[in-house]
Structure 1
Amino acid sequence: MLNGKYVIDAVVHSYNLDPANHAVPRHAEGITGMIFGVVAGSGPEYELGWDQYVRDWDVDETASTLFLESDTDFAIYHPVPIGAYKDGLVSVEKAAEVLKKHPTRFRSYATVDPMAGQAAIDELERQAELLDPIGLKLYPSSWTAEGKHRSFRMDDESIVYPLYEKAKQLGIGTVAVHKAVPLGPVPMDPYKLGDIDGAAGDHPDLNFEIVHGGVAFCEETAWLLARFPNVFINLETLNIICAKRPEQFSRAVLDMAVAVGDHIYDRMWWGTGHMAYHARPCLEAFEAFQFPEADLERAGQFAPVSQITDEHKAKILAGNYATTMGLDLAQLREDTADDDFARKRAAGGAAAPWATSRTPVGAQS
């Protein structure tokens, strides 16, 4: 709990960054470098060295660093299908493991590569049985067995629409897509937002979650939010900007609010990408955040934006996600109120950053 506010982190991972996991080294090296780069400048308490960070993270340390070292209460685990890595970077098996070990603290998304065609649909069916997923996570980039990069559009009726229909049949109502942040040395176009319009319009019975929304293409994001009530923003990476550069966070959020005004507070979901970046400084920064009055005066050309309140923050941190995804927030609170993580936190307070990982700050891997 963050000063009485329940916290759902809508995207967490256990990356396997070990070089032995590279399937397409040129691309995997670029992606690894990009991921490690977000740790740089996070401060002496939080910053890990290359050897401490670039390794295979297990689900136990992801859970412990999240729930014992930050005020996060519940999390959505995202396996990843990035073919530049042998296991996709975050394996489906890790998702199954974390659900088995910590069933009251995690739900999971499924993930597939739509470019695999029928095999992707078959894999989604398998994961639906294995994970009981609450959503489907997609990435625009795909790699062939020969290491060639390729991509797809979210409005491609032949490649991805069959997956949407299968997701609906399986009771999955949300499709998340990684946007704005290109994965290494690949074209930028697949990470733009022009393909969300058609998908959201053609499938009003699905929610479309823009992961990294607002990191780039804020104007396009604003008009998507204005036109499509089934589009939502996952704040992953903006959480890091909030911790490092709150003035940039202010501008990004207000730019996304240009056509929706205060409704922006209903369309954002908290997400940190932990363990890409430690969740604690992000939560502390968000809790302390207020929009500069000068920014508010310039914002909202079509609808004014009010100063952010504790009520707004509570919705962003948990309420919006729980409502949209059909989660019982009261039940989640009850289920996590007295488990092992809660008892340890009550007895000893928050552990030092990365202290419960296999390579704490200052340790050698």
Structure 2
Amino acid sequence: MAIDPEGKRLPIKLDTATNGEYLPMPLPYPVLVAKRLAHDQASNVSRRLGMTRRAFLKSASGAAMTLLAMNRAFAAFGKTGGRYEVPDLAAYEPELAEAAIGGKEFIFDIQGHHVNPKRPWRRPTNRWTYSLRFFPQADCGDGAIECFSAEHYIREVFLDSDTTMAVLSAVPAAPGDDPLTTEDAATTRAMVDALEGSHRLLIHGLVRPNLPGEIDAMSMQKEKYDVAAWKTYTQWGPSGKGYWLDDPDVGIPFIEKARSLGVKVICIHKGLPLFGLDYAHSTCRDIGVVAKRFPDVAFIVYHSGYEPKRKEGPYDPKNASGGVDSLIKSLQDNEIPPNANVYAELGSTWKLLMRDPDQAAHVLGKLFKYVGENNVLWGTDSIWYGSPQDQIQAFRAFQIAESLRERYGYPEITAELRAKVFGLNAAKPYRISTDEIKSRTASDRVANIKRVYSEDPDPSFASYGPKTRREFFDLLRYRGGPV
């Protein structure tokens, strides 16, 4: 993994990188100001402390300093709906920084991704082959693509972040074009198990129920690969047309099959509209309908319905055709109360919201209020954005402004609530014992390797993904069309 010996990268990654599913979003001007402030401050503070710039940025104080720069920039532009609660002296005092952004929570990241660089999907005509050329920020051997291998996934997630446990998920692709098959995911799980990291990694089974034979093949995935949940993309389809979960010919048979197999956790990509595909099926209209019909099934809404181009404010049922409000309205229309069988996941959503405290406050506040404080789940979409550690540190420090809490009934984000989001909430649908996992992970080989590594860590601070519209559209032209 390429490193950053001169300390040119900030530990809190403020850039335009995407996960390849949505167009890069320009950085808001306050974030550009925050980056300049953070870079200047990193040079000044490291000199005063007699440290190299790289050594300072690797410390907790380096990350705290970046969050403080964000606070200053956001406040200067009137963005005060949320802030990162970090003491001013944390940039100089590692103990203060660690108290603000460190922690020992059980962190269960339920959305992770990597690819298998050796699979046949790397033929020149496959869209994923070209797309990964636009993740060039690090050279890991055989070009940038090796940065997305199982080995680098394990390093980025389990060594360079505080993640305890994760779920390896799938991406939308036609059969044969999967960058990571269920078999590949099972192989990665076995690699983690071989490090005595038993139960640190769970895997999804990808289901495209609008393809012939996919629903029947769920039995094989369950029996052969012991999948912990199902992943589906309602927006995806063989001819560019998606489906609804309450479709009697597609969605309902899929859910019924999941129930009959006893794997009653269904993760659905909603929001982050896939470029070039039918927008409607990315919205959450169908979530409440099926949640009411199948109360014994856990429906985990990936990305919480969030759309990068839609500005999020307080919940408005009259303007809820998309975004997070479409999820909330679907629940209310179908009388699904908070903390029921619908869960909101934060992968990519929190990564994008980190750079806009006002929207972050409203999205988190709405999810806690309407989906439930017990039903908001941690996910990061790693390793598309590199290590998830910066997302973890930022969430540990983020707080919704008291004025918004009072006006809209949002809760204060306490240590207890953070712990729920980080992992305790996801333990319920995945039916895991957090006490058992904590006991196992305290002394397995992964933990021992991490203890040695943490004495001299070497994080890359790299984020991956197309960062410009040109890169994104070059990728699109090469693959001959949308996903």
Q: Same fold (TM over 0.5)?
A: yes
| Cross-structure match for 2:325 | 219
Letter matched to residue 341 of structure 2: N
Distance in 2, matches of 1:134 and 1:80, equals: 16
Distance in 2, matches of 1:196 and 1:52, equals: 41
- Indicate which of 114, 123, 137 corresponds to 2:209: 114
| Cross-structure match for 2:39 | none
Query: Residues 205 and 112 of structure 1: is their aligned pair in 2 closer, same or farther, counting only changes over 3 Å?
Result: same
Q: CA RMSD in A?
A: 3.1
Q: Deviations over 1:132-156 (max 9, x none)?
A: 1121110124353xxx312111111
3-state secondary structure, aligned to 2:399:
coil
Q: Percent identity?
A: 23
3-state secondary structure, aligned to 1:101:
helix
- Indicate which of 103, 108, 111 corresponds to 1:11: 111
Q: Deviations over 1:164-193 (max 9, x none)?
A: 122112111111100101222112111011
Displacement of 1:312 after TM fit? Answer: 0.2
| Cross-structure match for 1:237 | 348
Q: Does structure 1 residue 288 correspond to structure 2 residue 382?
A: no
| Cross-structure match for 2:282 | 191
Distance in 1, matches of 2:446 and 2:418, equals: 24
Q: How does 1:1-365 map to 2 (within 5 A)?
A: 3-15=103-115, 20=122, 25=127, 32=131, 53=144, 57-83=148-174, 86-103=176-193, 104=198, 105-117=200-212, 119-144=213-238, 148-216=239-307, 217-226=323-332, 227-228=335-336, 229-257=340-368, 260=370, 264-277=372-385, 278-299=387-408, 304-349=409-454, 351-354=457-460
Of structures 1 and 2, the larger Rg is shown by 2
Letter matched to residue 241 of structure 1: L
3-state secondary structure, aligned to 2:241:
strand
Contact kept in structure 2, 1:13 and 1:273, CA below 8 Å: yes
Deviation above 6 Å: which 4+ runs of structure 1?
none
TM-score with structure 1 length normalisation? 0.81
Distance in 2, matches of 1:168 and 1:22, equals: 39
Displacement of 1:130 after TM fit? Answer: 2.2
3-state secondary structure, aligned to 1:114:
coil
Query: Residues 186 and 21 of structure 1: is their aligned pair in 2 closer, same or farther, counting only changes over 3 Å?
Result: farther
Query: Residues 291 and 174 of structure 1: is their aligned pair in 2 closer, same or farther, counting only changes over 3 Å?
Result: same
Distance in 2, matches of 1:22 and 1:162, equals: 36
Query: Residues 149 and 256 of structure 1: is their aligned pair in 2 closer, same or farther, counting only changes over 3 Å?
Result: same
Displacement of 1:17 after TM fit? Answer: 8.5
Distance in 1, matches of 2:187 and 2:163, equals: 20
Distance in 2, matches of 1:294 and 1:352, equals: 40
Q: Deviations over 1:269-296 (max 9, x none)?
A: 0000110113111001001111122322
Query: Which 5+ residue runs of structure 2 have no aligned equivalent?
Result: 1-100, 308-322, 464-483
3-state secondary structure, aligned to 2:285:
coil
Query: Residues 328 and 168 of structure 1: is their aligned pair in 2 closer, same or farther, counting only changes over 3 Å?
Result: same
Displacement of 1:52 after TM fit? Answer: 5.9
| Cross-structure match for 1:43 | none
3-state secondary structure, aligned to 1:113:
coil
Contact kept in structure 1, 2:399 and 2:413, CA below 8 Å: yes
